[in-house]
Amino acid sequence: MELEYFTKLERVQHNDITIFMITVLRELPTPLQWQFTIESFREEFERVKNEHHKFAFIMDVRKIGRISISQIKEFVNLLETYTVVLQEYLVASSILTTKNSILAILFDIMKTFYKTKKPLLFVYDMKSAYDHIDSFDKKIIRDELTT
């Protein structure tokens, strides 16, 4: 029996950074699917920490439903655990979505528990997601050259 995942996480090389392409595959996770999702994020953060390599997120959350507050808090706790990694290596994040109220509500809830460490933008197409990341990646390179 094959496990059906809640998210799919892929690494894509773009310019000089790694982009984590995270796609939500279904509306709500089972407890086991959620556990695998959290663990896959943890493993990737550990990998970045060991590689010392810049990265970005593109999260396709168009299929997400109203996940629980406890799941949001667990995800926020994971992000807080890796604050140093996020501050040091994260370039920017794009969230690919549709204009729906569920996502806005979830993000508002998440913002009450967590302040993003790097620029985050809601986008409606993949080109905008890459453009957002590229704009901050170029800014970081300019800043490094001037210091």
* DSSP label of 28: S
- pLDDT for the residue numbered 101: 53
Tell me the two tokens of residue 41.
């994020």
Rounded distance between C-alpha atoms, residue 32 and residue 134, angstroms: 35
User: For residue range 102-145, what is the model confidence (pLDDT) as tens digits?
Assistant: 666 666 666 676 677 677 778 888 999 999 998 886 655 444 44
Instruction: Give the class (CATH, top level) of 7-146.
Output: alpha beta
Q: What is the mean pLDDT of residues 53-72?
A: 91
Burial class (CB in 10 A: 0-12, 13-18, 19+), 22: buried
pLDDT digits (tens, 9 = 90+) for 66-87: 899 899 899 999 999 999 999 9
Cα separation, 15 vs 18, in Å, equals: 8
Write down the domain spans for the chain: 7-146
Per-residue pLDDT tens digits for 31-44: 999 999 999 999 99
pTM for the full predicted model:
0.80
